[in-house]
Amino acid sequence: MRVAFFSPLPPARSGIADYSEVLIESLKPLVDLEVFSGGAGTAQAGDRRQKTIVCPTADIALYHVGNNAWHDFVYEAALAHPGVVVMHESNLHHLIADLTIRRGDWDAYVRECEYQGGKQAREFAERVRRLEVGPDYDGVPMTRRLLESARGVVVHSRFMRDEMRAAGFTGPIAVIPHGAWIPEADRNSWRHKLGLDELTPLIGIFGFLKPYKRIAESLRAFRRVVRLAPNTRMILVGEPHPEFPIEPMIRSMGLSANVRVLGFTPIEDFVGYLGACDIVLNLRFPTVGESSGTLLRSLGLGKAVLVSEVGSFQEFPDDVCLKVPVGPGEEDLIFEYLSLLVSRPEVAQALGARARAYVAEQCNWATVARQYTEFLESVCGAGPRPAQPNVPEPETDGASPRPDLQTIPHSEPGSASPGPAEPYAEQVGDLPHLAGQVGDLAEYLTTWATTPPSRQYLETHQTRLVKTLEITPPGGPCDRILEMGAYLQITPALRTRLGYGDVRGCYFGKLGRVDHRVVTSAEGEPFACDIDHFDAEKDTFPYPDEWFSTVLCCELVEHLFEDPMHLMSEVNRILKPSGHLVLTTPNVAALRGISAILQGYHPGFFHAYIRPAESGEVDARHNREYTAREIHRLLENSGFEVARLETGEFRDVPHPEFGWVLHLLERYRLETGLRGDGIYAVGRKTGPVKDRYPGWLYS
């Protein structure tokens, strides 16, 4: 499907520009995308009009419309070539004023007001022309003409869906969540930049500093907090509004020592300051149904957030953010919430952890892009809208009709789901299809360890091997699975316990060699498997494209010497669309590793050189160990979405000796999850490799 994508992009000072930049990258693997962007009032206007003519060559156009001058070319193109309109807010009056009044076309402005609001709106517009009053920005939303031409509409909330229906749109609407950034920010570095230590409570307000952000109410509530906790600080990050004098307000409240206005900052600094905060105020009233990129970034960073209980914000779960009703008692409730979160930081941290988990699962960009793609395909199939539709077309909430990682029944043969995605969660639990079978699996594996070395290896690695089977998606008689680096400890179970019809192994060696291995368990059960030999960093794997449903790459990537992305690229090639890669590897950022490096030792799990055997043969040592977040990036760079990422122990034994490390991490608000000795990850193939040589891995 060919899609023409219209939106401003950075450096435009628009949250929609930031949103579109990420959405474009997520859509590229799914559709043939042509992007049209520009800046309001620039010399590029002629170029934009010329590009717009190309739009009819696409199957569908997607227009991101917001209520400011950055979206002038988007609005004009949407009227010229109707397509799917993403309504980021329910009022476009400021945009229409820019398209008419600021271009000196008062007649067009008056006509638009009349078209939207009738005779009364026209009469008011005439008064605006005579400079008797200002435009009725709130009373006349100026969306009618755009909605009448649109073939479909995308919104980010049920509130906005209802607004579009109330505005008269009768065509198909998709409610697609606003994508969530899961950014990384070094909290302590940015606090040091602000002159703060790790324990000082820090509250932040972000974005364009307009009165509707409830800044006055927030400052009054903050003043009461400071009386109880004088060390509390606040930062305001964003461009000040020329008609809203914040600095004098701060001085008049006696808060100059506690509040800093940092002004507009580049997005990197913006995210850094967000990361430095403990609490974020994302209050706003009135609202026109807009979503907030700042809010999604805050939740993705795991911050405790206060929102106004209005519009789309009231749809967030109550355990993800704290909601403040607008009106009497608003200031009092802001104070009570801030007082609670400042005095009990563990409450703020727990709220933030739930927020991060929620947006990572419900608002991840891969899921958002799939929902966009499916809605665009449905609109393309529906054909052009009639001029005056009498019967509304089916409405969707953006949910994907195809089975995905959250909806496939795990007991279904051939399904390929490792369970609900819980990124950055440690020990999320057993999969339903193997629930309660841990002891049985361990006992079953022992029946295949028939020699002293294999029994010794199993005793050391039993916890890891059982966990690997638990996270591996089950298969069916027609599914193929490849175990890389197969020692045949768990290989038989891939067929007998997980149901795969075709089980194959591979090992390092000369390309073309194939070993046919036959083993018999202690109970007399036979198992046969072919083991292919090749160099996983150099050779083309000896399998056709899209051949396997699942590939296991367990305790292997840490041994690779020069080109791990060659392995990842080949795994991507041989996996079917939506196939799964199960990857396990030691965790260099485990509590054990942190303890070692702080005490002056090497943090690696297995960093030692290996003494040769009597035969002169030397086993492969670990060349590079990874952190869990690096494995997340490795999977995404390789064309996978992360369906599961957690850590655990290689041996199920307690480690009370690392309690002091955990205390240190908690004090400095550093990640305490994903600190087990082993990393367990499952990736779902979503498209081709995105970055063959990612900068974080290759110099």
Look at the block and give the residue holding tokens 């002004």.
Answer: 263
- Going by pLDDT thresholds of 50, 70 and 90, the confidence category of residue 29 is confident
Rounded CA-CA distance 571/697 in Å is 18
Q: Which helix (H) or strand (E) holds 122?
A: helix 106-129
- Reported as a single tens digit per residue, the pLDDT across 486-504 is 989 999 999 999 999 999 9
Rounded CA-CA distance 429/697 in Å is 30
Identify whether the C-beta of residue 176 lies closer than 8 Å to the C-beta of residue 366. no
Average pLDDT of the chain? 87
Positions of E strands within 489-627: 502-507, 514-520, 526-533, 548-554, 575-586
Residue 152 or residue 428, greater confidence? 152
| Average pLDDT of the segment spanning 71-91 | 95
Percentage of the residues of the chain whose pLDDT score is greater than 90: 73
User: Which range is least confidently modeled, 389-398, 518-527, 638-647?
Assistant: 389-398
* Among 469, 423, 416, CA closest to 579: 416
What pLDDT, on the 0 to 100 scale, is given for residue 678? 94
- Going by pLDDT thresholds of 50, 70 and 90, the confidence category of residue 533 is very high
What pLDDT, on the 0 to 100 scale, is given for residue 56? 56
Identify whether the C-beta of residue 398 lies closer than 8 Å to the C-beta of residue 176. yes
Domain residue ranges in the chain:
2-92+143-175, 187-360, 432-685
Buried b (16+ CB within 10 A) or exposed e, 8-35: bbeebebbbbbbbbbbbebbebbbebbb
- Reported as a single tens digit per residue, the pLDDT across 250-285 is 999 999 999 999 999 988 999 999 999 999 999 999
What pLDDT, on the 0 to 100 scale, is given for residue 461? 85
Q: Is 252 exposed, middle or buried (0-12, 13-18, 19+ CB in 10 A)?
A: exposed
Q: How far is CA 597 from CA 480, 608, 660, in A?
A: 42, 15, 14
Rounded CA-CA distance 165/556 in Å is 55
What pLDDT, on the 0 to 100 scale, is given for residue 433? 53
Q: Which CATH class is domain 2-92+143-175?
A: alpha beta
| Average pLDDT of the segment spanning 393-421 | 34
Residue 621 or residue 371, greater confidence? 371
What pLDDT, on the 0 to 100 scale, is given for residue 439? 63
Percentage of the residues of the chain whose pLDDT score is greater than 70: 89
Identify whether the C-beta of residue 437 lies closer than 8 Å to the C-beta of residue 474. no
Q: How many other CB atoms are found less than 10 A from the CB of residue 224?
A: 15
What pLDDT, on the 0 to 100 scale, is given for residue 438? 55
| Average pLDDT of the segment spanning 547-576 | 97
User: What is the β-pairing status of strands 640-648 and 678-685?
Assistant: antiparallel
- On the question of pLDDT at 65 being above 80, the answer is yes
- On the question of pLDDT at 41 being above 90, the answer is no
Domain 187-360 has CATH 3.40.50.2000: yes
What pLDDT, on the 0 to 100 scale, is given for residue 291? 85
Query: Which string of DSSP letters, residue by residue, matches 135-179?
Result: --TTT----HHHHHH-SEEEESSHHHHHHHHHTT--S-EEE-PPP
Rounded CA-CA distance 628/680 in Å is 8
- Reported as a single tens digit per residue, the pLDDT across 511-520 is 999 999 999 9
| Average pLDDT of the segment spanning 614-637 | 90
Q: Give me the amino acid identity at 126.
A: E
Look at the block and give the residue holding tokens 């449905």.
Answer: 378
What pLDDT, on the 0 to 100 scale, is given for residue 20? 95
* Among 275, 92, 292, CA closest to 198: 275
What pLDDT, on the 0 to 100 scale, is given for residue 434? 55
- Going by pLDDT thresholds of 50, 70 and 90, the confidence category of residue 418 is very low
What pLDDT, on the 0 to 100 scale, is given for residue 411? 30
Look at the block and give the residue holding tokens 């179970």.
Answer: 493
| Average pLDDT of the segment spanning 64-74 | 94
- On the question of pLDDT at 415 being above 70, the answer is no
* pTM for the predicted model, two decimal places: 0.73
- On the question of pLDDT at 663 being above 60, the answer is yes
What pLDDT, on the 0 to 100 scale, is given for residue 459? 84
Identify whether the C-beta of residue 178 lies closer than 8 Å to the C-beta of residue 124. no
What pLDDT, on the 0 to 100 scale, is given for residue 55? 53
Q: Would 2-92+143-175 and 187-360 be classified into the same CATH topology?
A: yes
- On the question of pLDDT at 72 being above 60, the answer is yes
Q: Which helix (H) or strand (E) holds 300?
A: helix 293-300
Rounded CA-CA distance 2/647 in Å is 41
Q: What is the CATH number of domain 432-685?
A: 3.40.50.150
Residue 101 or residue 420, greater confidence? 101
